Structure 1
Amino acid sequence: MPSKILTRFGVNQLCWFMLIALLPLTIAGTVCYFFVKGQVKRDAINELELEARAIQGNIVYVLGENLARIVDFSSDGFIRDSTKTQALPGADAGAVRRDLNKHLEVNKRSLNPNILEVFVIDTTGRVVASTSDNRVGEDVSEKQYFKQPFLHFEQTGPLFSREEVPADNAGEPDLIFSTLLTDKLLHTPIGVIANRVSIDVLLNTMLPVPNTGDEEAKASVRDHIYIANKDNFILVASKNPGETHLRNLTGTYVVERAIAEGRVVIDTYKDLWGRRVLGVAVPVRETNWVILAERDYKTAFAPLGRIRNLFIILNSSAALMAFLVSFFVSRNMSTAVRKLRDGTEMVARGDLDHRIELKRKDELKDLSLSFNEMTKKLKDYTEERARRAEELRKTQKQLFQAEKMSSLGTLASGIAHEVNNPLSYIMNNIELVKDYIGDIISTKEQVINEKGFLSTLEEMESCLKDAKAGTEQIRKTISAVYEFSHPGRDKLDYVDINKTIDDSLKVVWHELKYKAKVTKDYAELPKILCYPHYLVQVFTNLFLNAASAILETGEIRIKTYHQGQTICIEISDTGVGIPEENLKRIFDPFFTTKDVGKGTGLGLSIVYNLITQAEGSIEVTSAVGKGTTFKITLPLRRESDVSST
């Protein structure tokens, strides 16, 4: 969004408005979507389970019908008698078998087209009669359909069994239903009778697909249902039942779970063709079979697509409306915020007469009024602060000058001594020169020819040199005192620290030379930018304090060195030292330990302020009876650094 339309504040407001507007709708839509998805899934599962349950009922009916038929066959007297006769010694087994085979074919197998074979097994497990000639004589004693009826008979009586076995011709399973043949009088087993039924009988259990008139649409919505046995083989499928690959393993774990757990299992997985499907596995308790009903996942959740599209349309419309409303609201607020921002920038640049005018009736209007009132008070405060700062500066200068005058009072006797000594020998030398000149005038030409005339001139020259040296000493002393006592000019200059220290020593030398030995350890230093006369006052005060701390005689050590981007000056003395309880107060204004009238208490306070103004620092360490050390650190500043501050 261009900055001319919306400020960052406006963009943030727009984003928040959009979030507040769309978040509830998004949450509601998401909850609704998942709720509908769950409902669609439940409906699809219910439909699949109903189909499977219906097929389950059909299977039970078909199985019951075939089991009832085999039980009916077992009650046929001709079959029982023929089976017993074949087992008798001397009987014409071949003739009996032919009659029995004919009876089984005409009167039993032909009753239902799904019956593929009817056969009789004697008690040894050998097929003695069959509608299929190639089975006669086959040993089936290890088959379950032979063993199970005898097992049930031994435990509970003559029951029937059923089993699916591969057919000989196509590799597809067939169903075999069997039950015992028992003696009518003795109720003892005399053999087993069995029906082999085509697996296609189970196809009749599949629900018919509704006739929609559109085969392509019918195929797209048709569920895939098949029946699998305990070995996970497909017995029959609702789609493409003739394809042999459908008889292979199903490759899905829901069949095992349904058989193992004996309950309905529902899950989503990939079918034999790798398609994602929703499956419901329903176990058939009467058998070890499972009815598996599958529906293509996309087909099952097709209604969600329409709901999703509707949700997208509603959300897009709501987002557009929310954006338009939020945009106009944010732009309106951005205009007001921009005026406030511009106003603060104008005030920050020093325009305290600037006022903000907003044509609104809300909190932003109140904020602009408060801002204008604040600006007015800030202007008044700034003017008052400038006035007080000027007064403070004048007072500070007066205090600095007062401290200088106080120091001059301390130096007065020494200055007089420094001036009187040169003056006395200047006057004596002038008298000598006057006498020499008088002698020259009185003697006139005679003196000129004498040898003593040259020596007189030499003595006069020596006197004049001494007088000149004395006057130079007086000039230097007076110049140093003048530089110290003069208020000075507030002008920055590059200063040689070592020379400034020497100039300060000249001012106080008469106070030091009889009490302390001055030791200098100067390093070669770059010049620093500062106020020269301020440094002279700093060093002068520190030297006077050092002198006053030395009771009789001692030493003052001065050391300068360069450390990184700073210049360090250490001034140490061997005086009485400062008690620890006074170290924290020595820079406080008017704090002094001297007798009344001997100190103002401003010296070290002024030193601290002057060093701080130069963006430096001053530290003090002291030991009572050993002495005190002041360490001054000053930065190496350029003119640009000073002007920026």
Structure 2
Amino acid sequence: MEAITALQLKQIPALEEVPAAQLQWLIDASEDKLLAEGDFLFRTGDPIVATMIVMTGKVRMSASVNGHYREIAELNDGSITGWLPFSRAKNALGNGTCIKETRVLICPAEKIKASTAQHYELTEALVHIMTSRVRENTSMQQQNEKMMALGKLSAGLAHELNNPVAAIVRSAAGLSDNIRGIPEIFKQMAAMQLTSEQATVIVDQLNVIQAGEPEKPFSLMELSDREEAIETWLESKGVTQYETAAILAAYGVTTTDLATFSDQLPAAQLAVIFDWIQRALVANRMVKDMLLSARSIADLVSAVKSYTYMDQATDMQFIDIHTGLHNTLTLLDYKLRKGNVEVVTRFDTTLPRIKALAGELNQVWTNLIDNAIDAMETHQKGQLEITTTQDRQCIHVLISDDGIGIPEENRSRVFEPFFTTKEIGKGTGLGLDMVSQIINRHRGSVKLIPAPGKTIFRISFPVENN
């Protein structure tokens, strides 16, 4: 191999301003290494003790996240990695695998540290690479944090939408079957040649039954007893339709009601009449179920629109903080129920509005509530408390949980970028950093308040004059 020259290093954009003499020193202080395809430049956990410059070739950086292979980056000609001045990285977070023959210049960190004063421009260039790397990693981690939050919300939203959608599909299918039977029952009713008075009695009774539907469903035991009594009464009249007994019982009809009704009609016609009533009641219930399900979907869509403020301006507006809290709880409702979490809200609805970017505050509520749910996951139950109060010129929001808590030695670090106590793949350590940044932009403050058996975050906002 021909020796690497200072001129070659100057072709690397990050080193083009470094004097040739300093680059020659770097070459002389380094090991010139040729790696074959498949070789590792470094492995996960290796100590970072050298600066590495990829002269030619390609290195793929990858890591295992929750047991799944994940690519992090690729190093190509001119890429500089490994130890950099003032970097706090201690160990490699992934594997660096050569995917073709790769030539690398490797300079021990101790040599660069010892010559910092003599090689100012070289040190400056390496520091610039380090700051750029931190900025890129931070941006990527923030994006990952947002995507993780979005994924959690999407999963919960999909589950919440699935239930009403399934109910609508089920009711629509049942209603379709019900409608297909209408021509036959119409023919039977027409053949009975009912008088106007008899028809009026039947329609009036149907209206009475529909209007008398109980607001609260009966218990299973009470409903079973009612069904059995009505089924026995119907059988005594020659009507053998279990579906009719079930729907009449659900609507709160008693055998006394049925006896009063049947006394006004010929016994031979009761089977057809009750079949028609049963179909009408079932159709009415299915339509109600579809309306309730559609309303649930509409409420969820409305919560999403309010949560993202997609229909409103992106500048600061005077908002009611309770709206965002309610919407966030709605979108996280599935995860709350899955974690068996009881939600207790103590909202002071008389609080004045605050000037804020509502979409950003919703990110704050999402991070804090989601962290609280995760903290209670170990106990498979818990209580989430959200309180809003005003103290002189500040509005406070307190979010507390009775989960596993934060160890005392970690409490001072919870707002540090990249610090996390969660397992790999569950957190990036930027959630609370993002919370802190957003609250600072709103001229507020966020604090972790020690309390026995609880983790409490207090977010405070100054009251603006409207």
Q: TM-score, normalised by structure 1?
A: 0.36
Higher-RCO chain (CA-CA 8 Å, sequence separation at least 6): 2
User: Which structure shows the higher helix fraction?
Assistant: 1
Give the TM-score of the pair, scaled to structure 2.
Answer: 0.48
Specify the structure having the higher radius of gyration (Cα): 1
